[in-house]
Amino acid sequence: GNSVTQMEGPVTLSEEAFLTINCTYTATGYPSLFWYVQYPGEGLQLLLKATKADDKGSNKGFEATYRKETTSFHLEKGSVQVSDSAVYFCALDPKAAGNKLTFGGGTRVLVKP
């Protein structure tokens, strides 16, 4: 079956530090891959996406590259801000009829001033 594994948090870092959140997946074929972000007290928001191998998704200074060879979609940001404190979810859509988004367990990130 399809699955998404992400690093467990919480990840605590200082403002302007480099952030990496690892995400690996298991799926047949070539799924679409997503990162969602959940700010405190809110629902999930789509942060970025990639629909095929070697695509790079980017938004708000965050980037992730779809690596088919390592089945990974790691999220990175070069210089985090306090406002980036949130829970980040990696997800895949298997592109098969009737299949739904599969989410990872989420990684909580806390950025301290």
Partner 1 sequence: ETGVTQTPRHLVMGMTNKKSLKCEQHLGHNAMYWYKQSAKKPLELMFVYSLEERVENNSVPSRFSPECPNSSHLFLHLHTLQPEDSALYLCASSQEGAGARNYGYTFGSGTRLTVV
The count of C-alpha atoms lying within 13 angstroms of the C-alpha of 1, restricted to the half-sphere facing its C-beta, is: 8
Q: How far is the CB of 100 from partner 1 (least distance, A)?
A: 6
Which one of 7, 55, 67, 103 is in contact with partner 1 (CB under 8 A)? 103
Q: Measuring CA to CA, which residue among 24, 102, 99 is closest to residue 64?
A: 24
Decide: is 73 part of the binding site for partner 1 (CB under 8 A): no
Distances (CA, A) of 24 to 16, 66, 77, 113: 26, 10, 18, 30
By CB under 8 A, the residues from 21 to 50 that bind partner 1 are 32, 34, 36, 41-46, 49
Q: How far is the CB of 80 from partner 1 (least distance, A)?
A: 23
Q: How far is the CB of 36 from partner 1 (least distance, A)?
A: 7
